[in-house]
Chains A and B, each alone.
Chain A
Amino acid sequence: MRWLLLKDLQILRRSPLIVGLLVAYPLVIGLLIGFALSGDDGKPRVAFVNEVPAGEGFDLGAGGQQFGAEQARAELCDRVECVDASSREEAERMVRDGEVLGALILPENLLDQLRSLTSLDPEPAKVDVYVNEDDPVKAQLVDDRIQALVTEANLILSERISKQAAEYIDLLIDGGTFQLPFLAQKLRILGLARAGVILEGVRRSLPVDSPARAALDQVIEFAHLAEDNLDFALPLLGAISAPIAVEKTDVSGTSTSLDSFAIAAAATFTLMFVTVLLVAGSLALEREENAFIRITRASVGRGGLLAEKITLGVIASLAVTLLMLIVMTPFGAVGWGRGHLIVLAILAGGAAFAAFGAAIGAAGRDVRASSLLAFMLSLPIALLSLVPSGTVSATLFEVLEVLRALFPFHPSLEAISSGLDAGAGSLWLRLLHLAALLAAYAALARAALRRFA
């Protein structure tokens, strides 16, 4: 078998295009994924234009809290990567050219509109958003991001206004000093509690038979009632500012980080294409070169040839996938503390993909047909394996689950995720799954080789 393996490696070495692809592919994919993961911490780029006059702010209340353009920018840039634009025209160009996902413009009258919220004639505040929905996926992403940002902004304002309202209520109950909005004048507020105390004192100073006592009792009772019930309003205001809180419970799946998942997906795609195409093509080449019968007539046999092709696939997949992960390492995307598990996952995935490729090569019988078949089978099944639950009907998802269990992509993806990230679940179960697929596809390939000549 080793002579056949050496022969295949010699043939590979003499195919500069294939060798070039095997080296360039992981380098390019590794660099792209590395830059994508390290560039902006996953935050979308949004252009920011501020037309609000400098120094202006919206006074949120007696606490002296201001909400202005600078604060809006700080809140925004905490959640997205801000790209400052000098004008609406520049922001529009940046969106059109794809430099940014969208643009947020704070119009000149934004603060006036915010101030009107505290008046008797409130006018909803509006911001302008430019987006470039040049494809449906991006459109959905932009819509989701913008909606999330606006929801967050509303929540922040709502929280602050609620907090301010609570301070007003405190002021009404306990009394204190109040700064009149827009006026440089302070008012002293007595407060319901102290008013009650004063009224109690007045009542005690009145003669027992004074007719004013009955009226004063009513006022004292009202002051106590108001004081007690305004206390209940405080937690209510807190609830209104955030009426629905989320408590997440993970009932299924794993807690793989998005970065680990992206690396695992890139590695699995690389593993799949390199291994399946190489093994399918290499096995079909034995027939195309008319060497199959000569080889199997010699000491090798069909089983030996199959084992050699699977070994070839495992060696190539390990080399290419490791190269890709090594390229990603300087970006901080891959931790080699779990290197042995990563290698184990690649070996198992590579072997299962190689057996799958051998089955395709044996069925396809010539290099072109096998390569086409390998591509046409692998890509759609791999993409279908990435469909998350809940995005399609339950029946269709059950079908997809069966499909992805029968194909090495999903277990390889899970195994590599487990190798990369301790939070991605047990590796051993995935290795067992891949071993079962290796045995099944090797048996299929062996059966197909009976009619290979």
Chain B
Amino acid sequence: MAEAEATAGASPVIEVRGLSYSFGERVALRDVSFTAGAGELLAVIGPNGAGKTTLLSILAGIRKPDAGTVRTPAGAVGWVPQQAALYRRLTVEENLRLFARLEGIEDVDAAVEEMLEQTGLADRRGDQVGTLSGGNQQRVNIAIGLLSRPAVLLLDEPSTGLDPRQRARLWEFVHGLAGGGTTVLYTTHHLGEVDRYGDRILVLADGEALFDGTAAELHRAAPESGAADFESAFVAFLRERGH
């Protein structure tokens, strides 16, 4: 496994060591270790069932690992689930206000206004979420994850179901967050996005971390390094590792 140097020299915001998790007999994660620094965009990719969502849910504190340690800034991990976790009959503002209160944010009004502005949904604040497009629902979904101004944001397949224009706007938004110092970990099946937007890539397959490095390093690690695109290089890499 290639070791990334991205966080070298800086104190990592996320530090994962020897993480393992099983669903009964099925091993979802096996001895996974990595770190991520402040403002870093780390893409977690891999085939279906690789353990990506399980990894994020452990980092979010939803699941407890069977073994290993996770170090994240206390109480400062924002989590955005794969499917929009919103109340469709409430308005954008009501959703933000509700979750701000549930998360115990002191200045609810300020946090809501900031998120409305940051997501560009201020003019849709009074619209019921159920009437918004998938892209806008995902923006509200992410905004809720950002309400507590977390140092780490976990995005589980954030671009699923979005059209190319919506995806571009989403990544522009996420890049802005990373630029502001937020560490962003995301899972995705859109490998073009990884190549285009990811600082670093963590490849998971059958619960094992197979690669940790940049897109260019993955290209070079692939047996057919002459592969024209990142997706072909990724598939060749997996095949070569027996997945």
Residues of A bordering B, CB below 8 Å: 3-4, 7, 10-11, 14-15, 289-291, 293-295, 297-300, 453
User: Contact mask B60-95 → A, CB, 8 Å, 1/0?
Assistant: 111000000000000000010101111111100010
Interface residues of B (CB under 8 A from A): 60-62, 79, 81, 83-90, 94, 98-99, 101-104, 128, 144
Chain B positions within 8 Å of A3 at CB level: 98, 101-102
Distance to closest chain B CB from A326 (angstroms): 29
14 additional A-B pairs beyond A10-B94, A15-B89, A298-B99, beta carbons within 8 Å, are: A3-B98, A3-B101, A10-B89, A11-B90, A289-B86, A289-B87, A290-B81, A290-B84, A293-B81, A294-B79, A297-B62, A297-B79, A298-B103, A299-B102
Q: Is the CB of A10 within 8 A of B90?
A: yes
Assess A291 versus B89: contact at CB under 8 Å? Given A14-B128, A297-B60, A299-B102.
Answer: no
The answer to whether B85 touches A294, judged by C-beta atoms less than 8 angstroms apart, is: yes
Known: A10-B90, A11-B87. A293 touches B102 (CB 8 A): no
Measured between alpha carbons, how far is A4 from B86 in the docked complex, in Å?
Answer: 13
Give the residue of A11, A14, A293, A299 whose beta carbon is less than 8 angstroms from that of B62: A293
Select B85's contact among A4, A15, A291, A300, beta carbons within 8 Å.
Answer: A291
Residues of A within 8 A of B94 (CB): 7, 10
Complex formed: what's the CA distance from A291 to B90 in Å? Answer: 13
With CB as the reference atom, state the residue of chain A lying closest to B80.
Answer: A294
A7 touches B98 (CB 8 A): yes
User: Taking the nearest CB of chain B, how far is it from the CB of A168, in angstroms?
Assistant: 86
Min CB distance, B190 to chain A, in Å?
Answer: 21
Q: In the complex, how many angstroms separate the beta carbon of A278 from the nearest chain B beta carbon?
A: 15
Given known A-B contacts A10-B90, A11-B89, A300 and B102 have beta carbons under 8 A apart: yes
Tell which of A11, A289, A294, A299 touches B144, judged by Cβ atoms closer than 8 Å.
A294
Q: How far is the CB of A296 from chain B (nearest CB, A)?
A: 8
A290: chain B residues at CB < 8 Å are: 81, 83-86
User: Nearest CB to that of A6 among chain B residues?
Assistant: B98
Instruction: Give B68 Cβ to nearest chain A Cβ, in Å.
Output: 20
In the complex, what residue of chain A is closest to B148 when comparing beta carbons? A298
Q: Which residue of B lies closest to A15 (CB)?
A: B89
Tell me the smallest distance from the CB of B151 to a CB of chain A, in Å: 16
Contacts of A15 in B (CB 8 A): 89
Find the residue from A10, A11, A289, A295 having the highest chain B CB count within 10 A: A289
Report Cα–Cα, A289/B140, bound state, in Å. Answer: 14
Instruction: Tell whether, in the assembled complex, residue A295 and residue B83 are in contact, meaning their CB atoms are under 8 Å apart.
Output: no
Q: Kindly provide the distance from the CB of A342 to the nearest chain B CB, expressed in whole angstroms.
A: 33
A170 to chain B, nearest CB (A): 86
Point out the residues of chain B lying under 8 angstroms from A293, CB to CB: 62, 81, 85
Q: Within the assembled complex, what's the spacing in Å between the Cα atoms of A291 and B87?
A: 7
- Complex Cα distance A15/B86, Å? 16
Closest Cβ–Cβ distance, residue A395 to chain B (whole Å): 42
How far in angstroms is the closest Cβ of chain A from B113?
A: 18
Chain B nearest CB, measured from A134 CB (Å): 46
Question: Separation in Å of the A304 CB from the closest CB of chain B?
Answer: 10
- Chain B's closest residue to A295 (CB) is B102
Question: Residues of B contacting A300 with CB < 8 Å?
Answer: 102
CB distance from B126 to the nearest CB of A (A): 13
- For the complex of A and B, the 3 pairs showing the least CB-CB separation, nearest first, are A298-B102, A290-B85, A294-B85
Is B81 in contact with A289, judged by CB distance below 8 angstroms?
A: no
Closest residue on chain A to residue B103 by CB atoms: A298
Chain B residues with Cβ below 8 Å from A299 are 102-104
CA distance A7 to B93 in the complex (A): 12
